[in-house]
């Protein structure tokens, strides 16, 4: 489709309690009657952050003090094409209210999913729910070491765990009793602590463990005939180039890992992307992307400036 994209600045505004401010679009507007992240059209020649600040003043009566890019979504509706340029606003002055008479609400992450948003917003909701840092377990981790790896990574600030290890990730049909016990105990731990947990394994094992999230290599993704084969909420995929990113999206992934961003000691021969190419690849992607490969928790801000959801890492969580 070659229709010109309408550039829209929109905001995920969070308060200190972590709640998000949403507003209801009036019935006579495009996508009317649905809930939205406040914002509006960028005017010709207007810098996008300036447009965001103007819209949030006009619509909610607040002044943006600090914001960062969250996600960009090009979306084609039947009647219009928009580029939603979404920022997370964590610092602002004033108390937001419906300055144009629109219904408004502060909602928690759990409540967010029960509101109806325009079709283009699905990846924004995902970006709101996903953490900015993920810890991937080292491949040679023993089943009885998984929990302590997770606890240590969480103590260092990891917002989620990706369980990738030989006893689980190599398997396609069945698990040993020891591995199953270890996985279930980690699932219990993450559930109790509200930590995001994804399993790198086959679809049948992930379903057997009632996993909420599955992570697949681009290779393993080929064997997923349809998205609904996996019963859980989240599908993520490891990607290394534009072609793999496109396939992941077509197969219905919610988010991806893009690697290697910088040179890694584990794969010294692999050519790294560098932040500029990483960021260039993101312009075609409509879903949250984690930077992976030679990055750690200290790189979160850098990754987000280049358009990522955050970082995923293995060895960086092992450092003292
Ligand atoms: N603000 C906002 N717009 C969204 C979201 N999702 C989504 O598809 N859109 C679409 C609907 C519209 O086509 C466009 C933004 O339009 P808008 O109605 O907010 O624009 P505006 O504030 O400048 O208002 P107006 O000049 O049309 O009255 O983006 C969202 O979450 N927030
Ligand atoms: Mg608006």
Please state the atom number of ligand 1 nearest to the C-alpha of residue 121: 6
Contact 125, 112 (CB under 8 A): yes
Residue of minimum CA distance from atom 25 in ligand 1: 40
113: how many CB neighbours lie within 10 A of its CB? Answer: 12
E strand or H helix at 110 = helix 109-112
**Residues facing 66 on adjacent strands:** 91
Does the structure show a pLDDT above 60 at 114? yes
Least confident span in 59-68, 111-120, 171-180, 263-272: 263-272
Q: How remote is the CA of residue 189 from the centroid of ligand 2, in Å? A: 41
Please work out whether the CB of residue 30 comes within 6 Å of at least one atom of ligand 1. Answer: yes
pLDDT in tens, 18-30: 999 999 999 999 9
Q: What is the mean pLDDT of residues 163-192?
A: 94
**pTM above the 0.90 mark?**
yes
Q: What tokens does 71 get?
A: 């996600």
Contact 8, 82 (CB under 8 A): yes
Give domain limits for the chain: 6-121, 133-317
Q: How remote is the CA of residue 7 from the centroid of ligand 1, in Å? A: 9
Indicate the pLDDT class of residue 93, thresholds 50, 70 and 90. Answer: very high
pLDDT of residue 284: 86
Global ipTM: 0.97
Please work out whether the CB of residue 82 comes within 6 Å of at least one atom of ligand 1. Answer: yes
Contact 40, 102 (CB under 8 A): no
Does the structure show a pLDDT above 90 at 213? yes
Q: Which residues are annotated as a binding site for 8-oxo-dGTP?
A: 25, 30, 36-39, 121
Phi then psi for 184, rounded to 5 degrees? Answer: -65, -35
Mean pLDDT of the chain, nearest integer: 95
Q: What is the mean pLDDT of residues 142-154?
A: 95
Fold: same for 6-121 and 133-317: no
pLDDT of residue 1: 54
**CATH 3.40.640.10 holds for 6-121:** no
Q: What is the mean pLDDT of residues 277-299?
A: 95
Please work out whether the CB of residue 121 comes within 6 Å of at least one atom of ligand 1. Answer: yes
Topology, domain 133-317: TIM Barrel (3.20.20)
Q: What is the mean pLDDT of residues 81-108?
A: 97
Contact 248, 221 (CB under 8 A): yes
Residue of minimum CA distance from atom 18 in ligand 1: 40
Indicate the pLDDT class of residue 92, thresholds 50, 70 and 90. Answer: very high
CA distance 246 to 250: 6
pLDDT of residue 245: 97
Which of 11, 12, 29, 31, when mutated, tests ligand 1's pocket best, judged by the most ligand atoms within 8 Å of its CB? 31
Q: What is the mean pLDDT of residues 4-13?
A: 97
Phi then psi for 217, rounded to 5 degrees? Answer: -75, 160
Does the structure show a pLDDT above 80 at 279? yes
Contact 274, 262 (CB under 8 A): yes
Q: How remote is the CA of residue 131 from the centroid of ligand 2, in Å? A: 27
């Amino acid at each position: 489709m070659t229709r010109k994209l309408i550039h829209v600045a929109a905001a995920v505004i969070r308060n200190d309690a972590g709640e998000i401010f949403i507003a209801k679009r009036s019935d006579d507007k495009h996508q009317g009657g649905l809930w939205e992240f406040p914002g509006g059209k960028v005017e010709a020649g207007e810098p996008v952050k300036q447009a965001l600040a103007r819209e949030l003043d006009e619509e909610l009566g607040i002044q943006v003090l600090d914001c960062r890019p969250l996600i960009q979504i090009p979306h084609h509706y039947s009647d219009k094409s928009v580029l939603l340029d979404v920022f997370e606003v964590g610092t602002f002055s004033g108390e937001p209210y419906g300055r144009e008479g629109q219904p408004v609400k502060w909602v928690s992450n759990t409540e967010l999913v029960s509101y109806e948003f325009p079709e283009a917003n699905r990846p924004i909701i995902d970006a709101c729910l996903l953490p900015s840092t993920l810890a991937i377990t080292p491949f040679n981790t023993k089943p009885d070491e998984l929990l302590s790896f997770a606890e240590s990574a969480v103590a260092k600030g990891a917002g989620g765990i990706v369980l990738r290890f030989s006893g689980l990730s190599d398997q396609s049909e069945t698990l040993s009793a020891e591995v199953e016990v270890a996985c279930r105990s980690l699932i219990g731990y993450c559930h109790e602590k509200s930590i995001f947990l994804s399993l790198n394994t086959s679809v049948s094992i992930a379903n057997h463990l009632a996993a909420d999230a599955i992570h697949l290599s681009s290779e393993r993704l080929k064997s997923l005939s349809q998205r609904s084969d996996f019963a859980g909420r989240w599908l993520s995929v490891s990607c290394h180039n534009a072609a793999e990113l496109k396939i992941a999206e077509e197969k219905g992934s919610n988010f991806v890992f893009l690697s290697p961003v910088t040179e890694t000691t584990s794969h010294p021969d692999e050519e790294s992307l560098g932040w500029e190419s990483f960021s260039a690849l993101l312009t075609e992607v409509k879903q949250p992307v984690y930077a992976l490969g030679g990055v750690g928790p200290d790189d979160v801000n850098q990754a987000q400036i280049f358009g990522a959801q955050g970082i995923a890492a293995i060895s960086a969580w092992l450092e003292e």
